[in-house]
């Protein structure tokens, strides 16, 4: 659960800064 929460936050920031490609790589 903790990992999911962290990933969600990271993805949120990544979406605002980096392109969607970064999100795909993160997942």
For 6-21, what is each residue's pLDDT tens digit?
Answer: 565 655 555 556 666 6
pLDDT at 12: 59
Residue 27 in this model has a pLDDT that exceeds 60? no
pTM: 0.15
> Which CA distances in Å does 25 have to 7, 19, 21?
12, 11, 6
CA end-to-end span of the chain: 15
């Amino acid at each position: 659960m903790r990992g999911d929460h962290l990933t969600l936050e990271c993805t949120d920031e990544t979406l605002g800064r980096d392109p969607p490609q970064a999100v795909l790589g993160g997942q």
